[in-house]
Structure 1
Amino acid sequence: MEQKDLDHFRKLLNEMLEEAQQKGDATLDDLTDNSEMFADPADRATAESDRAFTLRIRDRERKLIKKIRSAIARLDEGSYGICDECGEDIGVARLEARPVTKLCINCKSKQEEDERQRAD
């Protein structure tokens, strides 16, 4: 991969990281600001359901942040864009679609097929 591509992905990953951290902070603010008391059980149940949904979103953001940081570390190490399974280069188009990926499209397709076969 050329240096200009690596610079592009570093910029993209840093932007993704900043956005994910801002969303995570906003979600955390929403959770702490939710101090209302509900007399009606239905309102309380709705609020708890909303809180659970917000926590799931927060967990997904946390996992994404971890993946982004891992991708940035691979950039620093010089292994970004190399498939963890086969060692081949991951295509730029795949990296554009999923900058945090560790697998080339062939290995990812094989992984998904194996998962489908195990589920059956």
Structure 2
Amino acid sequence: MKAEIFLPDDYRPAEDEPFMNDQQLEYFRRKLIAWKAEIVEESRDTIEGMKESTRNIPDIADRASEETDRALELRTRDRERKLVSKIEAALRRIENGEYGYCEMTGEPISLKRLDARPIATMTLEAQERHERREKVHRDD
């Protein structure tokens, strides 16, 4: 079991400290865990709301509107389910010591990028190259 890492409430990873030191890793670990908990809670609320709103609506337009809302909500929850698996993968990378490094180049991913998108697996440049290649292949 690892020792508890002290992290001040106002801590933000800084460029002038060693990359992916214990405090940075703990910062991102906590950020990912909080994000996952928020998504799971929203999902739970959605399920409860859908159970409560299951009713027979006589007006066809109202029923169609409700079904459209449900479909949209379910698509959103599906995206969030995929996001949860990406969060879990990022947490595993923290445990494995691979977090914060580009899976394509092995270079450090910028702290600003990780703070904005803690599930990032590539540097911005590698991501852009990847997307350009995808676009080229999609156009074939």
What TM-score range do you get, normalising by the shorter chain? Answer: over 0.9
How far residue 82 of structure 1 moved from its aligned partner, in angstroms, is 1.2
Q: What stretches of structure 1 of length at least 5 have no aligned partner?
A: none
Whether 2:103 is the aligned partner of 1:70: answer no
After the TM superposition, list the runs of 4 or more consecutive aligned residues in structure 1 that deviate by more than 2 angstroms. 115-120
C-alpha separation in 1, matches of 2:47 and 2:54: 13
Residue of structure 1 equivalent to 2:6: none
Residue of structure 1 equivalent to 2:15: none
Mapping 1:1-120, distance limit 5 Å: 1-120=20-139
How far residue 33 of structure 1 moved from its aligned partner, in angstroms, is 1.6
How far residue 116 of structure 1 moved from its aligned partner, in angstroms, is 2.7
C-alpha separation in 2, matches of 1:115 and 1:82: 21
How far residue 113 of structure 1 moved from its aligned partner, in angstroms, is 1.5
Percent identity among equivalent residues? 37
Of residues 58-67 and 108-117 in structure 1, the stretch that sits farther from structure 2 once superposed is 108-117
CA RMSD of the aligned region, Å? Answer: 1.2
C-alpha separation in 1, matches of 2:31 and 2:117: 11
Per-residue displacement from partner, 1:31-86 (whole Å, max 9, x unpaired)?
Answer: 22221211111111111101101101110111111111110111011111111111
How far residue 103 of structure 1 moved from its aligned partner, in angstroms, is 0.9
> Structure 2: which amino acid aligns with 1:56?
R
Larger relative contact order, structure 1 or 2 (CA cutoff 8 Å, min sep 6): 1
Structure that is richer in helix per residue: 1
Equivalent residue pairs, number: 120
Q: Compute the TM-score of the two structures, normalised by the length of structure 2.
A: 0.80
Q: What stretches of structure 2 of length at least 5 have no aligned partner?
A: 1-19
C-alpha separation in 1, matches of 2:22 and 2:113: 17
